[in-house]
Structure 1
Amino acid sequence: MVFAPGRLILHRDLHHGRIAFVHPGRVVSDDDRGLLLWVARGSVIAVETTLDGRHPRDLAFADWMAAERAPRIARWQGPGVLRFFPPGENHSVWFFHDDEGVFNRYYVNLEEPGVRWDDGAVAGIDVIDQDLDIVATPDRSWSWKDEDDFAERLAHPDLYWVPDEAAVWAEGRRVIKRIEAGEFPFDGTWTDFRPDPSWPTPGELPAGWDRPMAARS
């Protein structure tokens, strides 16, 4: 399926079928290169927390998985962020900006390829985040991020949703080669992006935001 430019869809991260976050994003483009979304500052989102409001990094992983949890409505706090989902690849690339809207870093989220769904009134893309990430600057220097979290979670294979550690590291190294070579999308593409000023900031999540996870083939 292809999402029309300007349509508001939901970027969702799910673990064992449970919602970790839901972020509404406006479709910038959807073509052979992949899906490009804009998540605006102040957008209403949902994020999973414990019932007393704690987040995953507030607890040891095993304690987090044992705790009662539920999605909580919140708002996207930072500057707006552009998110790119290349088709069939095990990562997405987020373009972060400063408070003045100037691009300042790439954030590579290693994840299972997104699965699209469209229920008519609401649609989206579901991913399974694999926790290990890469941060890169415009000069193409880079660093790994969240290696400790990744290692902690891998120590609990009965609880974790990542079955193949080696595949995640291999995907990261493959993307790093692209970063170092300045290959698309790390070639300056979209770094000067400005959202359409007519796009309203989402003030609520549409009905159906918590629908079951999209089936994976």
Structure 2
Amino acid sequence: MRRFQPGETVIRREIMHGEVWFAYPSICVQDEGDLLVTYLPTNTEFGFPTKGRFPIGEHPWRAEKHTHWSGHGMLALHWEGVDHAVFVYWNGPQREHAFWYFNLQDAPRRTPIGFDTLDHELDLLWRVGAPTWEWKDVEEFAKTGEARYPGRVHEIQAEGDRVAKLLDAGERWWDESWASWQPDPQWAAPTLPAHWEEVPCVGR
């Protein structure tokens, strides 16, 4: 499957029960070895499919009319075969590093336009200056996990526990210098290509 060059558009699609459930375009920062780094600029428009069975309902962001990425852009580090990504967030006019976000999700599955995955809702984050990490969306995961990820709840929780143990042990499997990374000022918000919904899904 193709590799992306810096500046190219990479489409991240979420596949729920075999159907495209959500998508957004991002910009390739680095695609080398087993690491794919993408950037989601401010005001990038989200994509919600126009058809599908959606047995658990439409994507929550669509229901909330959350149609574009707001705030500072987000950097995302994805590794082949790894069921989480590390997101980097910034705050304020000086674009100060705010926190590391450990997003539990399917390992990326390459497609001709980017990659397919599925967000697992349960996450961890570590705020700058905080003594340790914290869980996020624990109650939501407990309520909806089995419907969203039938037969996989324990597997997803185990990955979260694995990440937590690594952090507790002082492990840093990502380059912390990404916290000071700056996007190319000429990069504009990317757009979804035509027929992005119709590209065949890559199964897990």
Give TM class, smaller chain: 0.7 to 0.9
**Counterpart secondary structure, 2:161:** helix
Listed one character per residue, the Cα deviations across residues 2-30 of structure 1 (whole Å, up to 9, x for unaligned) are: 21111111111121133332111110001
Matches within 5 A, 1:12-27: 12-27=13-28
- Whether the 8 Å contact between 1:12 and 1:20 is mirrored in structure 2 is yes
Listed one character per residue, the Cα deviations across residues 80-112 of structure 1 (whole Å, up to 9, x for unaligned) are: 000111111011111111133221111111111
Is 1:129 matched with 2:114? no
Q: Identify the residue that residue 38 of structure 2 maps to in structure 1.
A: 37
State percent identity of aligned pairs. Answer: 27
Matches within 5 A, 1:155-174: 157=146, 159-174=147-162
Unaligned runs of 5+ in 2: none
Is 1:144 matched with 2:135? yes
Listed one character per residue, the Cα deviations across residues 155-179 of structure 1 (whole Å, up to 9, x for unaligned) are: xx4x432422222122112212333
Matches within 5 A, 1:61-72: 65=56
In structure 2, relative to structure 1, the CA distance for the partners of 1:165 and 1:68 (3 Å cut) is closer
Name the amino acid aligned to 1:104.
A
| In 1, Cα distance between equivalents of 2:180 and 2:72 | 14
Name the amino acid aligned to 1:128.
L
Q: TM-score, normalised by structure 1?
A: 0.78
Name the amino acid aligned to 2:33.
D
Is 1:188 matched with 2:181? no
CA RMSD of aligned residues (A): 2.7
- Whether the 8 Å contact between 2:21 and 2:59 is mirrored in structure 1 is no
**Once the 2 structures are TM-superposed, how far is the Cα of residue 183 of structure 1 from its aligned partner?**
1.1
Q: Identify the residue that residue 210 of structure 1 maps to in structure 2.
A: 197
Higher strand share: 1
Q: TM-score, normalised by structure 2?
A: 0.83
Name the amino acid aligned to 1:183.
R
Listed one character per residue, the Cα deviations across residues 114-140 of structure 1 (whole Å, up to 9, x for unaligned) are: 11111xxxx111101221111112356
- Whether the 8 Å contact between 1:47 and 1:73 is mirrored in structure 2 is no
Listed one character per residue, the Cα deviations across residues 46-76 of structure 1 (whole Å, up to 9, x for unaligned) are: 2479xxxxxxxxxxxxxx826799x789221
Q: Identify the residue that residue 105 of structure 2 maps to in structure 1.
A: 111
**Counterpart secondary structure, 1:191:** helix
Unaligned runs of 5+ in 1: 50-63
Q: Identify the residue that residue 166 of structure 2 maps to in structure 1.
A: 178
In structure 2, relative to structure 1, the CA distance for the partners of 1:189 and 1:177 (3 Å cut) is farther
Is 1:46 matched with 2:37? no
